[in-house]
Structure 1
Amino acid sequence: MIEVKDIHKSFGDSHILKGITTSFEKGKTNLIIGQSGSGKTVFLKCLLGLFAPEKGTIAYNGKIYSDLTDDQKRDLRAEMGMVFQGSALFDSMTILENVMFPLRMFTKQSKSEMADRANFVLKRVNLENAHNKMPSEASGGMQKRVAIARAIVNKPKYLFCDEPNSGLDPRTSIVIDNLIQEITEEYDITTIINTHDMNSVMEIGEKIVFLKDGLKAWEGSSETIFKTDNEAVTNFVYSSELFKKVRQMYLEEKG
């Protein structure tokens, strides 16, 4: 679990995060949503330890990040997996070498042990026959699955995903969503996804935090988001006619 208490973050005169308090549960897909400029990316970088809040605390399974020593922070980073928006694979490495990279950084395993582990997670994301390919030979969906394999190869306790469906077609996006949710449940990971994809919100949003102007404007689940009267949320989520119809159908079904 990750617990966030009253965090503030500024850059110069710009007050980006203005006192966010929330928690992200283990074994669930936790989503951060909001319009551009709402503070989502800064919030995610604070959770990753890349930005230090001026005020407030972030605790990982009860351990407050700002209280940790440098060695303890390094150990915590080894427990984090990250799926970047553009996959961020190394072009000069094979798919297998890309997945092995975190093991080289954070473990003392032998090359054969690292290769065995990398092949295991590649098989888990249905890429067991792609380990010798270069990233340029893989489709966008394959690259995202490689990025997920790399993120989980070191058996993380925390998985962070920044716009994992960016640039993917709707069908492939559903595959990636389902894969992330399956892995979250299977490995009992605390997963946090920064997304604009409303299909992800509806399909896998077990916990949703909606940010607006650096504040937590609402939180709930994919079911309760249908019921909310929060105007900021409804304006954001139901900006398209399709989702307006989906919400209306849901409310009529529930009576």
Structure 2
Amino acid sequence: MIEVKNLEKTFGDQKVLKGISTLFEAGKTNLIIGQSGSGKTVFLKSLLGIHTPEVGTISFDGRIYSELDKDEKRELRTEIGMVFQGSALFDSMTVEENVGFPLKMFTNKTTEEIKERVNIVINRVNLVDANHKKPSEISGGMQKRVAIARAIVNNPKYLFCDEPNSGLDPKTAIVIDNLIQEITEEYNITTVINTHDMNSVMEIGEKIVFLKNGLLEWEGSKREIFKTDNAAVTDFVYSSELFKKVRKMYLEEDNL
């Protein structure tokens, strides 16, 4: 669980985050959405410790990040997995080497232990016959699976995903969404996903945080977002006829 209280972040004379408070639960896919300039990227980087907010706290299962010493912060970082936009794989490494990289960097596991764990997570994300291939030799969807495998190889408590569907076709994006949700539930991870993909909201939006102009404008589930009368949310979500139809379907179901 990650708890955020009254978070504020300023760059120069511009306040980007304006007192955000929310809770991300373990075992659920928590999505951050909002238009460009809403503050969602700064919010995600603050959760990761890349930015230091001037006001407010971020707690990881009761551990307030700003109150941890250097060793405690280092320990917390070993509990975090990250799926980067564009996958961010090492081109010169094989799939197996990419996935095993965090174990070599942050653990004292033997070569055999690393290989065993790598094979477990590669199988878990359904990568077949890819261990010895380079990223350039596999598809974008497979690269994303490698990125997910690398993110979970160290059994993280917290998983952060930055635009995990970027560059993927809609069908592959749904597969990746479902894989992230399955892993989140299976390992009871606190997963936070920064996305602009409304299909992800429909598929896996168990908790949705909608930011606008640095404020938490709305939060709720995927069912609730299709029923809300919040004007800022409806303007953002219902920009296509598809989502208008989905909303109508949800409302009709509730009236049955």
TM-score, normalised to structure 1's length? 0.99
The aligned residue for residue 86 of structure 2 is 86
Structure 2 residue runs without a partner (length 5+): none
State how 1:141-152 maps to structure 2 within 5 Å. 141-152=141-152
CA–CA distance in 2 between the matches of 1:75 and 1:184?
Answer: 21
The aligned residue for residue 135 of structure 2 is 135
CA–CA distance in 2 between the matches of 1:136 and 1:129?
Answer: 15
Residues 7 and 20 in structure 1, CA contact (< 8 A), matched pair in contact too: yes
Deviation at 1:203, TM superposition (A): 1.1
> Could you give the per-residue CA deviations for residues 17-76 of structure 1, whole angstroms, max 9, x where no partner exists?
010000100000000000000000000000011111000000000000000000100100
CA–CA distance in 2 between the matches of 1:214 and 1:111?
Answer: 46
State how 1:34-45 maps to structure 2 within 5 Å. 34-45=34-45
**Percent identity, aligned pairs only?**
75
Residues 99 and 149 in structure 1, CA contact (< 8 A), matched pair in contact too: yes
State how 1:23-38 maps to structure 2 within 5 Å. 23-38=23-38
Residues 33 and 196 in structure 1, CA contact (< 8 A), matched pair in contact too: yes
Paired residues in the alignment total 255
Q: Specify the code of the residue in structure 2 equivalent to 1:148.
A: I
State how 1:134-173 maps to structure 2 within 5 Å. 134-173=134-173
State how 1:1-255 maps to structure 2 within 5 Å. 1-255=1-255
Tell me the SS of whatever aligns to 2:226: helix
CA–CA distance in 2 between the matches of 1:109 and 1:165?
Answer: 32
CA–CA distance in 1 between the matches of 2:146 and 2:241?
Answer: 34
CA–CA distance in 1 between the matches of 2:61 and 2:254?
Answer: 37
CA–CA distance in 2 between the matches of 1:106 and 1:145?
Answer: 21
Q: CA RMSD in A?
A: 0.7
Deviation at 1:139, TM superposition (A): 0.4
CA–CA distance in 1 between the matches of 2:254 and 2:21?
Answer: 31
Deviation at 1:132, TM superposition (A): 0.2
CA–CA distance in 2 between the matches of 1:150 and 1:253?
Answer: 40
CA–CA distance in 2 between the matches of 1:80 and 1:30?
Answer: 15
Deviation at 1:128, TM superposition (A): 3.8
Deviation at 1:248, TM superposition (A): 1.2
> Could you give the per-residue CA deviations for residues 122-175 of structure 1, whole angstroms, max 9, x where no partner exists?
000011420100000010000000000000000000000000001101110010
CA–CA distance in 2 between the matches of 1:250 and 1:59?
Answer: 35
Tell me the SS of whatever aligns to 1:182: helix
Q: Specify the code of the residue in structure 2 equivalent to 1:103.
A: L
CA–CA distance in 2 between the matches of 1:59 and 1:249?
Answer: 38
Q: Specify the code of the residue in structure 2 equivalent to 1:78.
A: T
Deviation at 1:77, TM superposition (A): 0.5
Tell me the SS of whatever aligns to 1:8: strand
Structure 1 residue runs without a partner (length 5+): none
Tell me the SS of whatever aligns to 1:227: coil
Residues 119 and 128 in structure 1, CA contact (< 8 A), matched pair in contact too: no
Deviation at 1:253, TM superposition (A): 2.5
Tell me the SS of whatever aligns to 1:239: coil
Residues 227 and 250 in structure 2, CA contact (< 8 A), matched pair in contact too: no
Divergent runs of 4+, >2 A: none
> Could you give the per-residue CA deviations for residues 181-205 of structure 1, whole angstroms, max 9, x where no partner exists?
0000000000000001111101100
Deviation at 1:222, TM superposition (A): 0.3
TM-score, normalised to structure 2's length? 0.98
CA–CA distance in 1 between the matches of 2:249 and 2:187?
Answer: 34
Q: Specify the code of the residue in structure 2 equivalent to 1:116.
A: E
